[in-house]
Amino acid sequence: MSDYLKNGYLTLEDISPPDMERLEKGPVAVIECVQEIPCNPCSDSCHRGAITMKTSINDRPDIDYKLCNGCGICVANCPGLAIFLIDQSYSETEALVGLPYEFLPLPEAGEKVMLLSRQGEVCGEGVVQKVRNTRAMDRTPIVFISMRKDLAMTVRFFRR
């Protein structure tokens, strides 16, 4: 386990992301929620039953990557903004990453942005491909950014 209690951010060793085979198949949700907190909207909102809590709402969410199709409903439903969408099948060289973004102004498709890591450090440049912002998402839009494939599990925010 990393020092997230001391510095506030997770590292890859804290989470169990899907394997390469699953990642290359198409979009999938990655949940970065490691504490036992009383919360279950992610599993409640998943139409495919991919996210479950073992016995109580205090359990950590368990995601079945075989059932998850990366639809993104859980992303806008997560009160902790802790779910991200990763699509390694986006193109030959690039991945598409969906990030929850509750700031104004919203970026526009085609806009170049600075990519930030979990600890807020600049780690590259990406291009906004689309912004999903429906009424059901209740003011938590998802910004989809294309970036180098190797950055997909590092980038969790962006700066305009």
Chain positions 28 to 87 lying near other proteins, rule: CB under 8 A, are 32-41, 44-45, 56-58, 77-82
* CA 156 vs CA 50, 84, 147: distances in Å: 22, 8, 12
- Choice between 9 and 149, CB closer to other proteins: 9
Rounded to a whole number of angstroms, the minimum distance from the CB of residue 25 to other proteins is 27
Structure tokens at 62: 């368990």
Indicate the residue among 16 and 35 with the shorter CB distance to other proteins.
Answer: 35
Single out the residue of 125, 119, 122, 118 nearest to residue 147, CA to CA.
125
Verify binding: residue 137, other proteins, rule CB under 8 A.
Answer: no
Q: What does DSSP assign to residue 17?
A: P
Size of the site for other proteins (CB under 8 A): 44
Q: Rounded to 5 degrees, what are φ and ψ at 72?
A: 95, 0
Q: CB nearer to other proteins: give 62 or 102.
A: 102
- Return the SS3 of 44: helix
Which residues of the chain form contacts with other proteins (CB under 8 A)? 4-10, 32-41, 44-45, 56-58, 77-82, 102-105, 116-121, 138-140, 156-157, 159
